Chains A and B, each alone.
Chain A
């Protein structure tokens, strides 16, 4: 408290000195002087309330961040379909954030169970596509496990080309059908 009182006293004294200086050096100096004074005062006030102000700000701030994070995390968990390139089973970069969120969810909810359904587009043979769909689902499984999900939480099934998300023989339909769907059996 003694220290605070000292700063206050110095502040008033310094302010008075500046006002005197401004009177001598015109508007420009006055402006600058006034700004300095205001800053100084704010700093002083902050300094005065240091403990309380920081504490309440940090409490409020934390809860705000947590909500945003939750929303972001939920938005990522809402992404449950992951797409693949033709004849490929490697996970695209664009899907990794959402898959990481699923992995984190599984890691912190040991009772959660998912089925990864692998799918292929209609080109090629049904049995080969069955294998391809499985490879895709397994790639997702490995990614989730590397990020903390456990094997017992993940079941894999491939439907090959048997259950397209979209019918049609266009490249856009194919792109939507080459996918792995994350399906929660229990949360």
Chain B
């Protein structure tokens, strides 16, 4: 491992010694750091890193260290709420709330059939929750509308892996990052989204000078600043760049011909698709100088080992799945997969979004079963003891398609579990209108922005108050023990789901309750039988083993009793039609291929190289909206701040949204540092302070997406467009068109008014006043002159986070 020594990061607030430390896993990002929860007087009072856990050796990120404050927040929901006839949410008993949910679910089923019910869950729950959602949804309600906010963060990982390798599961792991010669961080701002992993990378870099780091990002992020080569491309041109790089690698002869012939199919078609992507054409479209393209292709083509990571810069961009498939192509043609230090490592955003994919709460059927394969559905029917005919088949629908269905009156019951879509969905006002029109259940510890559309709210337990497992970005399954009882009046997600199944009288073929387990561990034991023989086989795991080993990567079974650090080391890929998780999709349109079409490819255990056709972003700057808008994350906050805004430390670090503007663009508009400006898009507008610098390129602005109060006018998703990737159906948050407008008053200079005097009247500095009016000195101000005065200037510093603390 890369860590030379442990370092126990700790954040406790306790008078006197804590009573106990409870084994757990961080519930923030997808790295999956091991930790222990401090408990005193039956309350969570802190956290410390687990020094034995190989992923972090005791380190924690800033959000991880502060996540526990939310548990003790005074605004926790402690009773269900029901929206009454007066339009208000009012407290109700669990009995009344659950009976209302059940009656509405029954009504929806009777009136409009199974697919009138949608369950939209999360990437922050536990595997046991997701598996139960899959079972209740598919075998109990027979709905095919199971989705999650993982659609917004990690769907592309799944679908690019299905396309190239036949099954989900990222091939490389963090162990490979530790030994690779070259690390390409493609749209992955790891310094802010996965601080512990970044620290792990940089510690080795400082020690050994390796890996050579290539960062691909339109912004000059903290990650890019630590890179050896930053490819600062124009937004929405990921596939163009990759096509250009693969073109050069082929031209330079950097192909492992033997590997391609023995272990892949589709090379000719793939080669043809990049044939005209010359460096000149690539440079013109991506904005990257030809010399940089040659240098990147040389490094990638000659390096003895390479890991490529991807995250939202790839997943939430135009051509998301095709870009990730192009990365898979690159690894395959170089034979750099299945070997130490080699392979694509498509990340996940949330701590357990991978578990949701694996368990079948979203996407395909549990344990990577193909929803278009009758044999797989028969297996599920046998495992669940239900009739196969009742299990819905075919490709899934993403959340944006579900909103379409709501607008068409086809979905009437929406169950929202552990996510805040009214802040996180693109073009959120459209989503709000849709959800306001139907019956919505919200399961959350807090009254979030999504409460606005809720008909029933169920208060749920948080991390530390329940037991279960999570899967991180590199297939590691970690266990989380229960540290304290949930507050009185609060239930766990799993308890609610089981209660719902009981009240709905969901039964198997023999009339037995469909959900036969009552605890997370019993659920996990059932799940293990479902996973048997599948790529994600977990039959070798138990809760105790997961704790003893500090996590295990699937598959973990008799053949691999301690787990599998790296997939495909035998170069056998799960592309046999009977076994694969998908018959794949058309790489351009996203159409699901039939079994016959898939069989005709004759992959049969070989990886699949695909043609990668570039399609420009759907929305681009234009006359009315001349600027690129991109959105993203800050190191200090997690998603919609439901938890992190309840930590005083994190909230103080980044209390408000802002817009990042390039200094030349700001100068051209005479916008001053901190000036509140209006950013408009065809969907809406926000008013936020400007942070002027060089982190964004010219012509691009960046707005963090964490802030979304309905009153605040600072929600990035009032601006974003709800277009999606054709294959993964992941929204393209990273590219939209917008306009910057100044918000100014006018001041007519009277008599001898000085610059100092005028600036003071408006609480501005003289420097800002001059800058806003393109004046050089205070003496340029003349009587009778009309000055522009910014309506507000706000100091919006974001303190830097220094992850390399030694």
A binds B: no
B: which residues have CB within 8 A of A? none
A: which residues have CB within 8 A of B? none
